[in-house]
Structure 1
C-alpha cells in the first residue's frame, strides 16, 4: 500500500512539472498590440524559428477591457482587473478607482517579480519599457534594473537587457523586455496597414539579433523565452470584444517545453505569471487566478 502511494505521488509530481529542472532564467519578449492576423501576415523569420523550438498559441484570450495596462498587469500578476484593480490605462498608485484584493505595504498588488524576489535566493529582475504608464502598477523595490526610453525607442533596451543577463548569468533571472512601437503603428496607421506590419517585422529583426547574441554567449539553451502581447486591434484602435482585439499570440520555449507544439488548450494573459512561477518552482499566491496550461511541458 505504501509503495503504491509513493508511486502515485511521483506520477503526480512529474505530471505537475515539479520534477523538471528549475529554470535558470526567463526572458519575456513583449510587443504591444499584436493581433493574431498581424502576427501571421508579418514576415518574422526569427520569431518563427524561436517559437518552432517551443509551444505556440494563436488562441490566447486577453482580459477585458482589451487595452494595454490592464492586460500587461494581468500578464505579470497572474490575475485579472477584478483582483489587481487596474481597469484602464490611467491607473496610478494614488488614483485607484477599484481596490485590489491584496496589496503590499506600499499599496501594490503582488506581481511575479515580488513573488520571485521573496522566494528565490539571489533572484535578479529587470523591466525594460518605452510607455511611461506601464511601470505604474509595479513596486520598484522588487527590481534590480529598470529602464524607460522615450519616443518609442527600444533598441537600447535590448542591449541593456542582454548585458544584464550576461552580468547575472549565474543567477536566477527574470527579464521583461517590452516595446510599444507596434501598438502606436496601429493607432497611427491602422491595424493591418503596411506600416503596422512593418513595425512587427522591424521588431523581429532586433529580436533575431538579441537571440543570436544569447547563442554566442552560450545562454540560449538554458533560457526560457516567452513571446507575449496584450491585445490586437481593428481600424485605428482597440478596447472592444472583436476577435481581432481579444485574441493574441502567446509562445514559450526552453528546457522542458515541447518543441514545435501548437497549444490548443484554453489560454489567457493571466496564465503568464503562473507559468513563470511553475518554471522557478514557486507556489502561486492565493489571490492569483492564473492557471498553467500543462500541455506545454514534455
Structure 2
C-alpha cells in the first residue's frame, strides 16, 4: 500500500517510476543510420539475426516524421517527438521549436540526464561517426564524448571503451549504411554489401561485451533512425519509416517477435524501464514491455 501511495505521488508530480529489470548493469544501444527494416529478409547479417533469435524484435517499428536523421536520433534518446523536443530538421544542431521542457543542462530531458540523476557516478558514453550526434545530448552528463571519422574507427573506440570502462550506458552510432544509400541508392547490391559490413562491426562490439565480462548482465539494443528510398529519405513511405528494433540480454524474451506498436521514442522509455528511472510527464514514449520476461 505504501508503494502505491508513493507511486501515485510521483505520478502527480509529473514523473513515472519504472520497475527496474533485475540483474542488468549495462545497456549498450547501437544505432545504424539509414538501416531500413525492409532489408532484413535480403541481407547477409548473421549477427543481427542472431540477436533477433536470442532476443525480442520488430521490423515494423516506426520513425517519427520527418523520417530523417537528427529528428529521429533525438527522439530515440529523448522519449518524445519533434513537436516536444523541437529538433525538426535532418541536420538540426539546436531546436527549431522551443523545447517544451528543459533539464538542468538546458536541453530537453533525455535518458542521459535521467540516468545521471539516479546514478551520479554512472559511466555514460557516446561514440559516433556522424558529427551531428554531438548536438543531440548534454555533454556535461556523459563521461565519454567521442566523434570518429569512420564506422571502423567508431567500432575500435567503442571496443576499447567497453573493455576499459565497462559503461553503464553507451550509445554507439554508425553513419552507414546511410552514406551508401545517399551516394548510390537503397535496396541495391551495394547497399546490402554495406549492411553486411555493418554486421561485421556489430559482431566485434558483441565480442567486446563478452570479453569485458559484461555479457550476462547487459542488455544490447539495435535500431535505426530511418530507412530510405532511391537515394533519399525524409518522406512518408514505409520503406523510409519502418526501422528495425532489436533487444537481447538479461531479462529479455528469446526468439520473440513483438506485435505491438513501437515508435523510436519508445527506445528511451524502454531504457528508462531497464534502469528503473523516473521519466518526466513530457515524455510520450512507452516501455516495450512485451520484450521482457517479467
8 Å CA contact retained: 1:129, 1:149 = yes
After superposition, where does 1:1-298 map in structure 2 within 5 Å? Answer: 18=19, 20-93=21-94, 96-150=95-149, 153-169=150-166, 173-298=168-293
Distance 1:127 1:19, change over 3 A: closer
TM-superposition CA deviations, 1:258-280 (whole Å, max 9, x none): 00100111111010010001000
8 Å CA contact retained: 1:22, 1:281 = no
Tell me by how many angstroms 1:55 deviates: 0.3
TM-superposition CA deviations, 1:190-243 (whole Å, max 9, x none): 101111111110011111122123223322221100011011111110111111
Measure, in 2, the Cα distance between the counterparts of 1:268 and 1:217: 31
8 Å CA contact retained: 2:35, 2:224 = yes
RMSD: 1.8
Gaps of 5+ in 1: 6-15
8 Å CA contact retained: 1:27, 1:223 = yes
Q: 2:40 is paired with a residue of what secondary structure?
A: helix
8 Å CA contact retained: 1:223, 1:255 = yes
Runs of 4+ aligned structure 1 residues displaced above 4 Å come to: none
Tell me by how many angstroms 1:155 deviates: 1.7
8 Å CA contact retained: 1:17, 1:297 = no
Q: 2:56 is paired with a residue of what secondary structure?
A: strand
Tell me by how many angstroms 1:119 deviates: 1.0
8 Å CA contact retained: 1:102, 1:110 = yes
Distance 1:106 1:223, change over 3 A: closer
Measure, in 2, the Cα distance between the counterparts of 1:133 and 1:17: 30
TM-score (norm 2): 0.90
Measure, in 2, the Cα distance between the counterparts of 1:212 and 1:107: 37
